[in-house]
Structure formats: C-alpha cells, structure tokens
C-alpha cells in the first residue's frame, strides 16, 4: 500500500465527519466567516494556521458539495469543531510522513517525497506577489487574443484582467468602508465603557447615551454591510463589459452549491476551486471568492484551456518558452546594468540554442530557462521517479547545456558564439573571466520545494564542479528587484554554491532574504532555514502599498528538533526547551500500525510484530 492509500484510509472517517458537519451549516455564513478571516489575515498572519488559504479553500469545496442552505446563523461556536477537524486532517500528512518507514530505511529522498505531499496540500502551486502573477499572465496570454480570447469571450485577455481588477477594487473599497465604520462604532463603545468604569455614567445613562449615538442601529447596518462585501448582483458584476462576455465568464469561473462532486474528498485531490472564483447563489447573486487569489485562478484556468486545445497547444508552449527567456533577460538587465548580455546564442552553428549569457567584468553567468512540467506529489510510490524524470528534463538538462559552454570557455583562448542564423554573435576570451567566476543558473516556472533548493539530492555533476543556482521565475524577479546590484547578486551566487548538501529550506527566498538582510549565508551544517526570512520581501511589498509592518529586531535563533518515538524535543539557542507529544492514536492512524508503549530498556528490544526492527524504530511510542 503506497503512502497516499494509507493516508486516505486514515482520513476517510475524519473527512466524512467534516462533510456531515458542513452539511448542517448555512452556505453564505460559512463562505463569509472564512473569507473575513482571510481578509484580516493580511498582513498579520500570526492568528491564522499555517497554510490557512489552502485549508479554508478545502472547507469551501466540501461545503459546495452540498445544496445551498439559506439559513442565517451565528457560527462562532459551530466552526470550532470544523477548524479542529481540518487541523487534524492536515496534521496527519506530516505525522504520516515522519512515521512511515518507507522502502529504504533512512532515505532522505524518500522522506522528502512523502513530505512533499504534506507540503503540497498546504500551499498553492505557485507563490508570488499579485503584480508578478498579473505581469506573467499578460506576457504569456495576450498573444492568444485573436485565436482564443476574442472568439470565446469577445474580450481581449487584458480587458478580462482589467474587469477582474475592477471587481477586486470594488471589494476592497467595500471592505475599507466596513472597517472604517466599525472602527468608529468601536471607538464610541469604548468611550461609553470608560465613562461607566470611571463612574461618570451609570447603567441607565450609558443606555440612554448609546441610544442617542445609535449604537444598536449602526451595528446592525455595519453587520449588513459586512455581509455584502463579497456579494455582487448581475449588474454590479458586469462592470462595463458586454452581457454575452459576462455570461461566458460566469460559465467559466462560476460554481453553484452542489456542483462539487462527491468524488472530491481529500486535500490532495485537485480542488475544483482552483479554477473557480464565483459562487453562483440563488436570486442571481454572486459571491466573489477570495479576490486576492482571483488573478492566479484566472490565469491558471486560461492556460489549462489553451493547452487543452490541440490547435493552440504547441504554439502556446513555444511562445511561453520565448516569453520566459525575455522575462529573465529583462530582470538581468536591471541588476547588471553595465554588463554585456546576450540572449539566444549558439555554441556552434546548427547546435542547441542557449538562453542567456551575462558578461560582467571578470564574471560570467550562464542562464538556462526550462519550462518542463513538474508533476505534483500525490503520495504514490512513483512520486520520486516522476520527480527525478522531471528534474532530468529541466534542471539537469539546463545545467549540462550551460556546463558545455563553461568548458568551451575554459578550454580555449577565445570562444566565438553565434546567433540563430549562424552569424558570429560575440566572443569571450578565457583570460577575461576568472575560472571560479563562471556561474550557472537554471530558471523554471514551477517551484520544487526542499528537493529543488538543495540540488545535492538529484543533480549529477562532475567532481569538483560547483552547484548551480536553480530557482523559479517569481523568486528571480523578487531577488532582482531588491538586491542592490551586480556586486550583491554575484556575492549571493558565490555564497549559495556552498549550501547544497549542508543547509536546507523549502523556499529560495529564505536564503535570499537572509542574505539581503545579513550579508552572508554562514549557516552551520544540517541547518533547516525557516520561512521567517522570505517574510523580509513580504514586508517590503506591504511598505510599497503604504502598510508598515514592523521588522523583527531580534537576531535569528537556531532551534534543534529531535524526535524519539512520539516525543518531539525543541531546544533553541536562547535556552528555551519544549516537548511535544504526538497523541498515540494519531501515530497509529498515520502509520497504519498499532502502537506499543515503551518503558526504559525495552525500547531496544525486538518489536513483537516480527519486523526485525527495534521497538523504538517500529511500533513503539513513549
């Protein structure tokens, strides 16, 4: 039985309970409650669970497998068991990944593959800032206005995106007005409370003054305003576009309660809301679902539709490759303003095209862009094989292409390069570039998590050759925007080469954020760099929007994590210690094996199950 089947067997009763509980709750109230919590989670995410957006989208999808329930209800207490169930469901992926013995004991790659499923269910497929998502969507989808968008919707893609942005803006304006109104009411209520606490007003006087201030009526109006923040009529939704276009867009992006099939059960199933952004409610009203994510949903849906069209697929893939190369070239020009930059060059006439050569002083950066797909982790036994095959066709292939260029430069006094017509393009003298100042970068669209930031797991390279830098398009864009110039970028490449096989993280921006703030990547071996440091770029983004988010003043803290059975010990460099015990029933569910409580020396005895392993390595729990 593969890991996914084990997880599904364990989760099935929990999911059934969650679905049954949701079936009793009013549709709009559940949509509103989680949407409001999403709205107030920006920029402070300290009061929401990790992966909250994916978790609550999962709740919405299960909710929409039921018919519309129109009752109004106060859900504050009823959603507590819903939240607890969701956390238990998602925790089982991580617990299962840790406790599953795997096929090869001690294999990090097997463990990270199982962990890949636990990470996948918590994260959106591609993380990026809204401007990045929209710019990248415009760049790759606008070329298909005449062949897809105008015939299908009667609108160009940029017009559709403008329409989406207008709805986002309307929603934000409504939300701002709701918050401003509530803040005013809350200030008046605090004033009344202060007068009562100080003895200036008695109960009757407080009631009379509250009546004069219209507190009750204002709260009622504010509540109704809050309930309608995400509600649009047909007329409001149309927002200047023709009626036929609106109907086509509603058909594409709308979903009705009850239309999510019963086949959607688990967080690792493809969520239908990945391709929907409106819930179609009775009486021709529409709920705008998670506006902050709508541009990503729209772009992802249109890409899927174009790729499904055999007339357009090959053209789209070719144009996307070229668009990726232009995108990367533009970012490099921002950082290396005085460098010689050569896109689309050839090592020899009739050979394979190389993507980008950056020559800056005595440094050279060889960049290859690869858009090969990366199949998501689904918890099957072949996940690792698929990942390795996808890695071979993208990062490995790009690395070998760039390595051939590096070798040619080092083997000859002068190397000539050609354009696509076979005409001499540029040349490089070996003594003009220092041997150890030739860097290789591989840029992809999809992120690869911990297996992508540490290339020691997958990359085949000649002995003595440094590791390349592999990162996705949006991370490169963020780094190029915030690094101060060529010198800092090259210093990052130098420092980054030495982390593979020693230091781990799931997001390249954690390394980049740390380097940007502290000017080094001096980590001890076996360090796992947490997601705190990618937040450096988040705070910069909010500052650009006029929102000040306080920068942490404390230095980084190194925390050690040790697991023994179901005990997990956390100990950090400040001396703080914490022990967490995973409930034995969760261990049993996740591992699919009954647990045996251990005492003292019996930890090292053979497990009674007959596996041949020690009890502490098999069914034992503390």
Is the pLDDT score of 395 beyond 90? yes
Tokens 């059960």 belong to 265
Q: What is the pLDDT of residues 256-269, one digit of tens each?
A: 999 999 999 999 99
Is the pLDDT score of 454 beyond 80? yes
Q: What is the pLDDT of residues 73-102, one digit of tens each?
A: 677 788 999 999 999 999 989 888 887 777
Is the pLDDT score of 1 beyond 60? no
What pLDDT shows up at residue 565? 66
Tokens 């403008």 belong to 162
C-alpha–C-alpha distance, residues 354 and 342, integer Å = 10
What pLDDT shows up at residue 610? 64
What pLDDT shows up at residue 611? 64
Sorted by where each begins, the domain ranges of the chain are: 3-120, 130-307, 314-539, 561-621
Closest-CA residue to 438 (of 461, 465, 462): 465
Mean pLDDT of 351-377: 91
47 confidence band (pLDDT: 50, 70, 90): confident
What is the average pLDDT score of the chain?
A: 90
Identify any residues that bridge with 322 across adjacent strands, giving them in sequence order: none
Distance of CA 305 to the CA centre of its chain: 22
Is the pLDDT score of 602 beyond 80? no
Mean pLDDT of 385-403: 93
Mean pLDDT of 65-74: 84
Q: What is the pLDDT of residues 487-522, one digit of tens each?
A: 999 999 999 999 999 999 989 999 999 999 999 999
Q: What is the pLDDT of residues 532-548, one digit of tens each?
A: 899 999 999 999 988 88
What pLDDT shows up at residue 201? 87
What pLDDT shows up at residue 450? 83
Mean pLDDT of 31-58: 88
Identify any residues that bridge with 358 across adjacent strands, giving them in sequence order: 341, 365
The pairing of strands 503-504 and 527-528 is: parallel
Q: What is the pLDDT of residues 336-351, one digit of tens each?
A: 999 999 999 999 988 8
Structure tokens at 350: 């009739």
Residues 6+ apart with CB under 8 A from 99: 587, 590, 591
Q: What is the pLDDT of residues 276-291, one digit of tens each?
A: 999 999 988 999 999 9
pTM of the full structure: 0.88
């Amino acid at each position: 039985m593969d890991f996914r089947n084990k997880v599904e067997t364990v989760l099935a009763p929990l999911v059934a309970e969650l679905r049954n509980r949701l079936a009793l709750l009013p549709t709009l109230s559940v949509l509103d409650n989680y949407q409001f919590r999403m709205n107030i989670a920006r920029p402070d995410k300290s009061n929401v669970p990790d992966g909250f957006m994916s978790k609550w989208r999962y709740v919405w999808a299960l909710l929409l497998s039921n018919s519309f329930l129109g009752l109004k209800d106060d859900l504050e207490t009823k959603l507590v068991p819903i939240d607890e169930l969701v956390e238990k469901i998602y925790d089982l992926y991580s617990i299962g990944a840790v406790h599953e013995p795997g096929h090869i004991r001690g294999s990090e790659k097997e463990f990270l593959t199982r962990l890949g499923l636990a990470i996948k269910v918590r994260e959106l497929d591609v993380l990026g800032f809204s401007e990045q998502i929209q710019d990248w969507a415009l760049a790759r989808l606008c070329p298909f206005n005449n062949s897809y968008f105008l015939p299908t919707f009667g609108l160009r893609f940029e017009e559709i995106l403008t329409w989406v942005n207008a709805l986002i803006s309307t929603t934000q304006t409504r939300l701002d007005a709701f918050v401003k109104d509530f803040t005013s009411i809350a200030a008046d209520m605090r004033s009344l409370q202060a007068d009562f606490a100080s003895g200036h007003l008695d109960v009757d006087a407080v009631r009379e003054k509250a009546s004069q201030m219209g507190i009750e009526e204002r709260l009622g109006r504010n509540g109704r305003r809050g309930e309608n923040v995400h509600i649009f009529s047909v007329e409001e939704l149309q927002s200047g576009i023709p009626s036929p276009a609106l109907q086509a867009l509603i058909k594409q992006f709308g979903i009705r309660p009850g239309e999510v099939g019963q086949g959607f059960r688990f967080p690792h199933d493809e969520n239908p809301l990945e391709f929907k952004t409106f819930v179609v409610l009775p009486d021709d009203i529409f709920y705008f679902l998670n506006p902050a994510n709508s541009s990503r949903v729209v772009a992802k849906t249109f890409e899927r539709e174009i790729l499904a069209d055999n007339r357009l697929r090959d053209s789209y893939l070719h144009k996307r490759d070229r668009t990726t190369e232009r995108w990367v070239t533009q970012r490099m020009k921002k950082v290396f303003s005085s460098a010689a930059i050569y896109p689309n060059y050839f090592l020899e006439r009739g050979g394979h095209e190389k993507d980008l050569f950056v020559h800056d002083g005595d440094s050279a950066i060889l960049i290859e862009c690869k858009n090969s797909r990366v199949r998501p982790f689904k918890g099957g036994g072949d996940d690792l094989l698929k990942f390795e095959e996808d890695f071979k066709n993208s990062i490995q292939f790009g690395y070998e292409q760039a390595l051939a260029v590096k070798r040619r430069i080092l083997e000859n006094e002068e190397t000539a390069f050609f354009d696509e017509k076979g005409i001499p393009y540029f040349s490089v003298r070996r003594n003009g570039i220092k041997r150890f100042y030739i860097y290789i970068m591989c840029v992809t669209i999809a992120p690869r998590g911990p297996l992508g930031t540490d290339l020691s797991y997958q990359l085949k390279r000649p002995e003595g050759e440094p590791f390349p830098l592999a990162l996705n398009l949006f991370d490169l864009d963020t780094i190029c925007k915030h690094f101060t110039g060529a010198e800092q970028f090259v210093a990052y490449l130098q420092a980054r080469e030495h982390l593979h096989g020693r230091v781990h993280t799931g997001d390249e921006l954690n390394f980049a954020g740390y380097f940007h703030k502290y000017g080094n990547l001096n980590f001890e071996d076996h360090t796992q760099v947490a997601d705190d440091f990618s937040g450096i770029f988040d705070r910069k983004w909010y500052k650009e929007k006029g929102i000040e988010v306080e920068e942490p003043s404390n230095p980084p803290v190194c925390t050690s994590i040790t697991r023994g059975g179901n005990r997990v010990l956390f100990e950090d460099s400040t001396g703080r210690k914490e022990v967490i015990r995973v409930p034995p029933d969760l261990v049993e569910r996740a591992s699919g094996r009954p647990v045996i409580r251990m005492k003292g020396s019996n930890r090292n005895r053979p497990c009674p199950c007959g596996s041949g392993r020690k009890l502490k390595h098999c069914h034992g729990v503390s």
